[in-house]
Amino acid sequence: MAICLSCSEAFIEPPSWRTLFFIDHNQLICEACEQKLVELKGEICTSCSRLLSELDDSYKQNGNCSDCIRWEENEHTKGLLERNVSLYHYNDFLKEWLTVYKFRGDAVIAEFFADKLRKVYEKKFQDYVPVPIPLHPQRLHERGFNQSELLLKGWAQTLPLLVKQTNTKQSKLKRQARISQVLEPNFSINPDINLGETLKKVVLIDDIYTTGTTVRQAAVTLKQNGFNQVASLTIAR
């Protein structure tokens, strides 16, 4: 008998040889809740993982959504981010669950997503160094944990490569306000980290990809400091 991390109801986990021999982790949410998670697959944007099936034809072209096309048409943001891979569509169920995770201190939820992210990382980003998007020190003090760092627990060493310089709440900003800030200094390189000569490819770990501004702000700093390729891996798009 297990307790679902989402609805807190008890459920019986189906027996599995993969969990018995520790190939997979034990099931952490019930089947009913897991069915509410919409995996991003099929017709999705090759650059950001957005579901293209929900867009009118005028908002997509050659496998990319209009947002990504605009990013690449802008001379200042072209090529900043190699691609974003997200696990799930940001529907109402996931929005509520991530709110519980981020703002109510239920950090144990990270265990479920960490295993999912690990599998995608091993398949698509094995030669990239995973780097969590940091919180501003004030926000970290208020929240008590960095949700992005917890997503690495159990499968990657946390590398605090970036330092957050501003304490702006991106979630409170309108879309155009977010995008206009992409070239403003928002991150710096942690002076305590010895980068070495071989650290050239980074995959940024975060919970949600919304407009792509945050990861591109981080990419600006990384590119200015000698990193060749910057991608991102997130829970939701």
Q: Mean pLDDT across the stretch 157-161?
A: 90
Residues 102, 121 contacting (CB under 8 angstroms): no
- Residue 132, pLDDT > 50, answer yes
State the pairing for strand pair 187-189/162-164.
antiparallel
- Residue 15 has a pLDDT of 64
CB 24 within 8 A of CB 18: yes
Burial grade of 134 (CB within 10 A; 0-12, 13-18, 19 or more): buried
Res. 214: pLDDT tops 90: yes
Residue 167: its pLDDT value, please? 75
Per-residue pLDDT at 18? 46
- At 51 the pLDDT is 95
The pTM of this model reads 0.89
- pLDDT tens, residue by residue, 56-95: 999 999 999 999 999 999 999 999 999 999 999 999 999 9
Q: Name the band, by pLDDT with cuts 50, 70 and 90, for residue 19.
A: very low
Q: Which helix (H) or strand (E) holds 85?
A: strand 84-88
Q: pLDDT band for 22, please (50, 70, 90 cuts).
A: very low
The dihedral of CA 90, 97, 140, 230: what is its sign?
negative
Place of tokens 């090759």: 46
